[in-house]
Amino acid sequence: MTRERVIRAIAGTFILVSVALGYKVSPYFLLFTAFVGLNLLQSAFTKWCLMEDILKFFGVKGECGEDPSAP
């Protein structure tokens, strides 16, 4: 899987888990949902995503087989 697809999977998982926890445990978990949404919105405008940098560090390939060790 490419970095972009992994990022989407992680974001979707975080959102679903935090909504479930907000429903079952405490509505304060919905703040985590808002945090994920704000990070997605920020990355759309700045073209920078911390999760992308983390995945690149761990060697997850980018689009078209991009070498993660390349600058």
Could you report the per-residue pLDDT of 14-66, keeping only the tens digit for each? 999 999 999 999 999 999 999 999 999 999 999 999 999 999 999 998 876 66
7, HSE (Cβ side, Cα atoms, 13 Å): 22
Angle at 3 between CA 17 and CA 35, to 5 degrees: 35
Extents of the domains making up the chain: 3-60
pTM for the predicted model, two decimal places = 0.79
Cα–Cα–Cα angle for 36, 68, 38, rounded to 5 degrees = 10
Task: Read off the pLDDT band of 70 (50, 70, 90).
Answer: low
